[in-house]
Amino acid sequence: MTVSKAVEKSGEATRSRKDAGDSPAEALHLGELSEQLGYVLKRAQLKVFENFLRCVASLQLTPAQFSVLLLVEQNPGRNQTEIASTLGILRPNFVAMLDNLESRDLCARIRSTNDRRSHILVLTDKGKAVLTRAKKLVATKHEARLNELLGAANRDALIAMLSKIANEF
């Protein structure tokens, strides 16, 4: 079948031109797309990041920055390579990120005395304070919204399944 014939078979001629009778321009059918894991996953991720940004807007933290602060707090004495790699961030790209956090006095690089190539990462006092406030905001606004939407049990099941996918897919 040619393209020109295909267009005749489509419902185009009857609907376009701003819907002659002012009918409400019906929404498109997602079809199999709404069952595609990747599609639904991506859209959910965008919404969650968007919501996260709003919830911690007062602290000016992105999800990635939040994850760095959390990981540095949880793992004192680690260097840039270690922190970056466990977050899936490539070392070159981690440099600008740290420059940012350091310029805002949220964390600091400290030359290691054992291996003078590496920089040990530490949270500053301000960084600890900001992280504490961020955790609170995330818990009371962000995660609370999720529980409200799914219920605690479903939330746990969701996280478990996503972790499984992230680790074993």
Partner DNA sequence: GATAATTGTTATGGACCATATCAAATATCG
Partner DNA sequence: CGATATTTGATATGGTCCATAACAATTATC
Among a copy of itself, DNA, none, residue 93 binds (CB under 5-8 Å by kind): DNA
State the Cα torsion 138-142-145-146 to the nearest 10°. -100
Interface with DNA, residue 64, by CB under 7 A: yes
Of the residues 5, 9, 18, 29, which one makes contact with DNA according to CB under 7 A: 18
Interface with a copy of itself, residue 129, by CB under 8 A: no
Task: Write down the H helix ranges in the chain.
Answer: 3-9, 12-15, 37-55, 63-74, 80-86, 91-103, 125-137, 144-150, 152-168
Interface with a copy of itself, residue 13, by CB under 8 A: yes
Among DNA, a copy of itself, none, residue 92 binds (CB under 5-8 Å by kind): DNA
CB 127 within 8 A of CB 101: yes
Kindly tell me which of 92 and 113 has the beta carbon lying closer to a copy of itself. Answer: 113
Among a copy of itself, DNA, none, residue 59 binds (CB under 5-8 Å by kind): none
Q: DSSP assignment of 9-26, as one string?
A: HSSHHHHTTT-TT-----
* Cβ count near 78 (within 10 Å): 18
What minimum distance in Å lies between the beta carbon of 24 and a copy of itself? Answer: 13
Binding residues for DNA restricted to 70-109, rule: CB under 7 A: 79-81, 89-95, 98-99, 109
Interface with a copy of itself, residue 70, by CB under 8 A: yes
3-state secondary structure of 107: strand
CA-CA distance, 169 to 164, in Å (whole number)?
A: 7
Binding residues for a copy of itself restricted to 83-112, rule: CB under 8 A: 83, 86, 88, 108, 110, 112
Kindly tell me which of 90 and 153 has the beta carbon lying closer to DNA. Answer: 90
